[in-house]
Structure 1
Amino acid sequence: MTLTFMEANNRNSQQRPTFSSSPKMEYPPLIQAVKEGNIKLVQELLERGVDVNVQVEGGWTPMHNAVQEGNKDIVQLLLDKGADPHVKKENGATPFIVAGIVGNVELLELLLSKGADINECDNHGFTAFMEAAFYGQVNALEFLYEKGAQVNLGRQTSEEQKKLCKGGKTALMDAAQRGHVNALKILLEKMQAEVNARDNMGRNALIHSFLYCKNKKVKEVILLLLQYGIDVNVRGEKGKTPLILAVEKEDVELVQMILEHNGININDTDNDGNTALLVAIDKNQIEIAQLLCEKGAKVDCGDLIRIAQRNYNQDMVKLLREYGANENFSPPTEVYEPNSRRWQRCLRHLHRIYRPMIGKLKIFIQEQYKIAETSEGGVYVGFYDGKEAAVKRFQEDSQRAQQEINCIYHCQKNSNLVMFYGRESQNGCVYLCFALCEKSLEECLTDQGEAALENEAFQNILKSLFKAVQEIHRSNYTHQDLHPGNILIDSKGAVCLADFDKSEKLDEGQQKIKDDLKALGRLVVYVMQRGKDPFSKIQAQSDNKVIEACTNEEIKDLVQNLLSPGEEWQNQLSEMLSHPFFWSCKIGYRFLRDVGNESDIKKGNYRSKILKKLNNTKAFKNWREEIDKDVMEKMNSFYKVDNKYRNTVGDLLKFIRNVGEHFEEEPYKDLKSKIGEPSQYFQKLFPDLVIYVYKKLRNMGYKKHFPSVNSSEPGC
């Protein structure tokens, strides 16, 4: 069998030429003798010492040519004289793969005995099994299957090609595309080939059966694939469905075959918003158009009558009028400007094209509209009741869909959850529609443009998250899947918690709350580290390791309380929302002043319970030396004796209280030039003082000094 260079290049973009022989090429004597089948001359040349592995253009060797010619005796002679049975052409094809092309079972068996790998592939991912399917070599196909060839192996290709969605094609797709019905039957019936396998572009064998214009058995192929339940709503290039591709072939019988299959979406569109009916009218195919109309195709999918009139087809115009097509159809003319900056391009396109509505939902299940992957269906950009939406798609009987719906309906008043618009169902799928957000927290932290955000911004993110989880718990649910990808930022910068398909209703003991608290503890570390380590890495670490990663005492205390909640863990979030981690330095300074204003501290009652508790530390023991000398002297002058303040925490709090009380008074106004803003001054000198005092007083009945969770005093 001889394949010319032009024929070899006739393969689609996922494939490559196997042979590149040119009739005008002058071959080395050994290769010429092999091609002519002159075994005597081959033997003479080898005995003279010619190179048994000589290569010509394309990397062809005597072995490749002998296999192509199907000459077993010459192949054996070459092997006996030291020919490399694994030698590769420039495209990576071995003699074994060439044997798959020509379908020579004897040579396949011989080369296997010489160590060929049954699933070895060339540089484009072709195996001998795939080549046998591509060329309809049934005997070779069956032999390779019996020897263990992988039936559903997809074409492996380079990373660069994968980025272009190349590769992934299976032997079944090859046989379908080339119209090899016998090979297709064997693959499906005997070898249990996966009928709905998809290549890296998302195309199945049904799409591939339309791609080769010389496929004369396309109807037989498609009928066979339909009998085996192939998906008829899959898409090819430009988003074209099998129905649209059948219409483009202008074959009524083919269209009829597709339409008779259960589950066909007759009104689905390609990427440009064209339905099968619109394509039929544009191609002036009245018989196909009538068939589509009879099967329920909608006539509101474009200016159909004008297209028919442009083709001077009055019978088509009459048909369309009978089915209610609009005489004065006009597409939307208003200028649409999306609210979302990130998704504006696909929103504009989706807004412009025709799509059959699913209740109030306009959506296109195509890769270009996909926001995120999910375990069951994906999240897509869409419009719900005219509003920009993120749409999660599930199978209608999905347990996860039911869990998400239950949680949403019980937590609708939670303003920190992503807003839920509504749900729709069609063809066994349920669509849950939410407000469209710009990015996830994970994306926010990996975006270099966000790296300069201050701590206060991240504190606000975590506060919103804590409030969201707190409200879920109050609604008797737990989230159970808290991670950075489920925390979303909308176009106004608000933080929203999303993805409730793993949520669970609280059991009697409410133990599941602890799972959410532990996840929150790890999220605190992830956020405050600006996403330096992947969240999955932090999840895998022990609690002790997570605590060690905390960068200051406030974060450490917050995380410890989340990872090891006390007996009242059900109310843990309420307390944590009032934690110093969420205070600005001005709020922290006000807290220290209020504590310093306690009577026992002002009077220096060192036997009091509060001062015994506060002063029981070696920390801050030299605090007076940290204060500016002029400031210390000025504050000491308030008293009649020197060094009125001792190096105790209690006296430090009294000092802070006195600075706050007298800072604006005339005799002390020169302190401003030394101190500046007092809250910043003391925060810088004693960064751990607030959390130290907080922890000491937390269980002592002094919570009256703790700011409320809704404190909104501006930051430092």
Structure 2
Amino acid sequence: MESQSPNSTQERLLPSSDENKADEENHPLISAIVEEDVEKVKQLLERGTDVNFQQAGGWTPLHNAVVNCNTLHKSEEIVALLLQYGADPLQRKDNGATPFILAGISGNVNLLRLFLSKGSEVNECDFNGFTAFMEAATYGKTEALRFLKKEGADVNLARVAKENKKKLGKGGATALMDAASNGHLDAVKALLDEMEPDVNARDNMGRNALIHVLREFPDEKAKAQTREAIIRLLLKNGVDVEVRGEGRKTPLILAVETKELSLVRMLLEQENIKIDDTDGENRTALLVAVQLGLDEIALVLCDHGASLDCGDLVKLARLNHRFYLANYLISKGARKDFLSSAADWEPQSSRWREALRKLHQLAHPMTGKLKIFIDDKYKIADTSKGGVYLGFYNGKEAAVKLFQESSEEAQKELSCLKNNYLNSHLVTFYEKETQGGCLYVCLALCERTLQEHFANHKETEAAGNGEDVFARKTLLSVFKALEELHLVYIHQDLHPKNILIDSKNAVRLADFDKSIKWAGDTQKIMRDLQALGRLVLYVVRKGGIPFEELEAKSNEEVIKDSPDEETRDLICHLFCPGENLERRLSSLLGHPFFWSWESRYRTLRNVGNESDLKQRKSESNILQILNLKTSESFSFANWTTKVDKCVMIKMNSFYKGKRKFYKNTVGDLLKFIRNLGEHYHEERNNDLQQIIGDPCRYFQKLFPDLVIYVYTKLKDTDYKKHFPQTENPHRLTVEEEEMVSRVNALSTDRD
């Protein structure tokens, strides 16, 4: 996951230059405030200008006055004027920030004091959990911290995240973490020396201030000494060095990744440091140092007793042309043949087996953690920007997509992959490497595209009368991938060649070099939904209609080409999604298209088990809903004449005494399906079994539009309780729930 830049908080709090320009032109009061023209502000207010006018994002003149005035006394003068003319001191922006909270950013103690006198609460927070104290820490406003502490600010208050974001690990950070991770040494010192913060407080991801400062520090060489000083202060105050960050990285491993020898030495001096602890990829600090070609750090770790039995250290050093380091490691006892010989190594991929074996044996310098050789024999696919090649990233088989480093496509691909790395239905993103102006995007290696699958499996994927499990599972993965993606991003290039199938036949969405962040433009998200509708037909038709041909068809033609009711209804909902487009796919994940035939049959039986149906209560709500209008034409109209005659006679015989034979109503059909299912496996009904065979297939074929009819009628009622629950795709597991909506949190939130 990409580290948050030190200025990302401010970027989200302050309006963009474009927004400022537009609002200044549209509202003279905002312009006067930004220009610090006190007289003009006063004139406008005297003329009756709306003092509580809100810009985009909920910015009022008062919010602007607090953060957009560079001269402190003018800021205070303008704020006083606005309040005098009725400005609301407690007004919140769209993100929940009040003028008091924003005053923490400017660090203006006089304004903080003023807003407290106007009713602000010292620990009030915005909707992301930020308080004025946290903002002052984030921006290094030491005097503001001291003032707020004196006024009762909770030094150890943890950022409160909304429940759905808390599940994603958001929230929980404290002011100490904010000050440390943004490189504000004076603020950290003031907090530790004067305010007794909990130095070992952890956020909702389990990270303490030490992890924050090692992971999220401003990327400036001049800041290296500041980071060292902050870490020294934290260590002096007893910060836990055994805590873990993302990927289970230890502070020592994170220190190695900073490439700062002084930080590594400092941590090695700590009594509780465990030099051979591994991260989530089973890497020790020494292995990371050798992978990164950090000779000095590797030597220091060896001198402190790091285990040499942690990977193929000698080979890695040689591949990186670090021959002195390789010889040193050998002299310390590292094995030259840590791994089995290349001849014995076997790739996981079957399609790319031979090429991977050759690349594995090839002696070639590493590009960071990446081994790649740009040659046609290792090329997977052509692209307009550089191609896709086989590679090994950190020892794992990889597909490496090449870009010019500064290209717009490269930035789109990286942005989307990084902010969606927990979307399990996208191709797995390992990391990026750069060299000589070329960007290498390292991804999990897959076996084939969806387009290639149908081209090479026509004999096994030929359309038949059976249930299409492949289509259901494939499209389920694509829908889930887009469901999470659409929280923030639009793919814009849905195509069978951009849907991959891995060695375990899992389906992954790929290729994000055209993706964009969605800003509410319905036309852009409709582009994905329109393409998805065509993709549904492409998959159901086993690739029999080329996707390019489907793209040229009108929506009506695509719908008309649908082979069954479930497919037709699903595509209709994609082409005409209604409102709330970003949640459209979430609602469609429960569509009968994604139900197995057994689930469809079970649903009909469960509905048929409703007592009002069994007792034929014509006035009941469910019968009124299901009642078939005379103008409607469905396969199950006059259904008693379509069921096998012998079956109908036998089922009616159970009612011979009561003479309550089945009628041509939807309620009676569902009751019939329920009754047949209840008694189907009884020995006395062997004759029925011989005629019907598999009942779920029998009713699917006999009444192909029945499930969709029942679904459509009941989906917005309490009777939807009968729809599949265990197999319903949008009822996620706990693990899946923790991954849904991460994109929005990772991309737009601050914590």
Letter of the 1:465 partner, please give it. Answer: V
TM-superposed CA distance for 1:300, in Å, is 5.0
Match of 2:671 among 637, 654, 661: 654
Which is higher, the Rg of structure 1 or of structure 2?
1
Map 1:239-318 → 2, pairs under 5 A: none
Map 1:563-642 → 2, pairs under 5 A: 563-614=575-626, 615-616=628-629, 617-619=632-634, 620-639=636-655, 640-642=657-659
Alpha-carbon distance change, 675 to 426 in structure 1, aligned in 2, over 3 angstroms: same
Alpha-carbon distance change, 660 to 576 in structure 1, aligned in 2, over 3 angstroms: same
Q: Any conservation in 1 of the 2:416–2:489 contact (CA below 8 Å)?
A: yes
Match of 1:644 among 648, 658, 661: 661
Letter of the 1:471 partner, please give it. Answer: E
Alpha-carbon distance change, 642 to 363 in structure 1, aligned in 2, over 3 angstroms: same
Is 1:459 the equivalent of 2:472?
Answer: yes
User: SS of the counterpart of 1:491?
Assistant: coil
Partner of 1:530: 542
Partner of 1:493: 505
CA distance in 1, matches of 2:694, 2:317: 71
Map 1:351-370 → 2, pairs under 5 A: 351-370=360-379
CA distance in 2, matches of 1:642, 1:628: 20
CA distance in 2, matches of 1:603, 1:622: 20
Q: Any conservation in 1 of the 2:454–2:461 contact (CA below 8 Å)?
A: no
User: SS of the counterpart of 2:440?
Assistant: strand
CA distance in 2, matches of 1:350, 1:484: 28
Partner of 2:423: 414
The size of the alignment, in residue pairs, is 398
Alpha-carbon distance change, 649 to 428 in structure 1, aligned in 2, over 3 angstroms: same
Q: Any conservation in 2 of the 1:445–1:451 contact (CA below 8 Å)?
A: no
Map 1:447-526 → 2, pairs under 5 A: 447-448=456-457, 451-452=460-461, 455-474=468-487, 476-508=488-520, 512-526=524-538
Greater Cα offset, 357-366 or 640-649: 640-649
Q: Any conservation in 1 of the 2:320–2:365 contact (CA below 8 Å)?
A: no
Match of 2:388 among 379, 384, 396: 379
TM-superposed CA distance for 1:711, in Å, is 4.1
CA distance in 2, matches of 1:423, 1:347: 20
User: SS of the counterpart of 2:406?
Assistant: coil
CA distance in 1, matches of 2:340, 2:496: 39
CA distance in 2, matches of 1:514, 1:356: 46
CA distance in 2, matches of 1:412, 1:371: 22
TM-superposed CA distance for 1:302, in Å, is 13
Q: Any conservation in 2 of the 1:396–1:429 contact (CA below 8 Å)?
A: yes
What are the superposed Cα offsets for residues 101-129 of structure 1, whole Å, 9 maximum, x if unpaired?
xxxxxxxxxxxxxxxxxxxxxxxxxxxxx
Alpha-carbon distance change, 387 to 561 in structure 1, aligned in 2, over 3 angstroms: same
User: SS of the counterpart of 2:386?
Assistant: coil
State the Cα RMSD in Å.
3.1
Letter of the 1:502 partner, please give it. Answer: K
Map 1:79-478 → 2, pairs under 5 A: 333-334=341-342, 335-448=344-457, 451-452=460-461, 455-474=468-487, 476-478=488-490
User: SS of the counterpart of 2:403?
Assistant: strand
Alpha-carbon distance change, 638 to 345 in structure 1, aligned in 2, over 3 angstroms: same
Partner of 1:130: none
CA distance in 1, matches of 2:329, 2:594: 61
Alpha-carbon distance change, 556 to 470 in structure 1, aligned in 2, over 3 angstroms: same
Alpha-carbon distance change, 698 to 300 in structure 1, aligned in 2, over 3 angstroms: closer
CA distance in 1, matches of 2:654, 2:318: 86
TM-score by length of 2: 0.50
Q: Any conservation in 2 of the 1:300–1:325 contact (CA below 8 Å)?
A: no
TM-superposed CA distance for 1:607, in Å, is 3.7
Partner of 1:678: 695
TM-superposed CA distance for 1:448, in Å, is 3.6
Q: Any conservation in 2 of the 1:592–1:653 contact (CA below 8 Å)?
A: yes
Alpha-carbon distance change, 710 to 587 in structure 1, aligned in 2, over 3 angstroms: closer
Match of 2:721 among 683, 692, 704: 704
CA distance in 2, matches of 1:435, 1:686: 43
TM-superposed CA distance for 1:415, in Å, is 0.9
Q: Any conservation in 1 of the 2:319–2:366 contact (CA below 8 Å)?
A: no
TM-superposed CA distance for 1:411, in Å, is 1.0
Partner of 2:221: none
CA distance in 2, matches of 1:457, 1:583: 13
User: SS of the counterpart of 1:702?
Assistant: helix
Alpha-carbon distance change, 509 to 578 in structure 1, aligned in 2, over 3 angstroms: same
Q: Any conservation in 1 of the 2:589–2:728 contact (CA below 8 Å)?
A: no
TM-superposed CA distance for 1:690, in Å, is 0.9
TM-superposed CA distance for 1:630, in Å, is 2.9
Q: Any conservation in 2 of the 1:420–1:435 contact (CA below 8 Å)?
A: yes
Q: Any conservation in 1 of the 2:448–2:502 contact (CA below 8 Å)?
A: yes
What are the superposed Cα offsets for residues 249-281 of structure 1, whole Å, 9 maximum, x if unpaired?
xxxxxxxxxxxxxxxxxxxxxxxxxxxxxxxxx
TM-superposed CA distance for 1:588, in Å, is 0.5
Q: Any conservation in 1 of the 2:458–2:542 contact (CA below 8 Å)?
A: no
CA distance in 2, matches of 1:329, 1:710: 51
User: SS of the counterpart of 2:548?
Assistant: helix
Alpha-carbon distance change, 643 to 632 in structure 1, aligned in 2, over 3 angstroms: farther
Question: Gaps (5+ residues) in structure 2?
Answer: 1-315, 730-751
Partner of 1:693: 710
CA distance in 2, matches of 1:539, 1:361: 38
CA distance in 1, matches of 2:398, 2:579: 41
Q: Any conservation in 2 of the 1:510–1:570 contact (CA below 8 Å)?
A: no
Partner of 1:211: none
What are the superposed Cα offsets for residues 330-355 of structure 1, whole Å, 9 maximum, x if unpaired?
89834121111111111111111111
TM-superposed CA distance for 1:478, in Å, is 1.8
User: SS of the counterpart of 1:354?
Assistant: coil
Question: Gaps (5+ residues) in structure 1?
Answer: 1-297, 306-319
TM-score by length of 1: 0.52
TM-superposed CA distance for 1:654, in Å, is 1.1
Alpha-carbon distance change, 409 to 329 in structure 1, aligned in 2, over 3 angstroms: closer
Letter of the 1:461 partner, please give it. Answer: T
User: SS of the counterpart of 1:496?
Assistant: strand
What are the superposed Cα offsets for residues 522-555 of structure 1, whole Å, 9 maximum, x if unpaired?
1001111111222112112211111111111111
Q: Any conservation in 2 of the 1:302–1:354 contact (CA below 8 Å)?
A: no
Q: Any conservation in 2 of the 1:444–1:450 contact (CA below 8 Å)?
A: no
Q: Any conservation in 2 of the 1:578–1:708 contact (CA below 8 Å)?
A: no
Alpha-carbon distance change, 703 to 571 in structure 1, aligned in 2, over 3 angstroms: farther
Q: Any conservation in 1 of the 2:381–2:388 contact (CA below 8 Å)?
A: yes
Alpha-carbon distance change, 593 to 604 in structure 1, aligned in 2, over 3 angstroms: same
What are the superposed Cα offsets for residues 74-107 of structure 1, whole Å, 9 maximum, x if unpaired?
xxxxxxxxxxxxxxxxxxxxxxxxxxxxxxxxxx
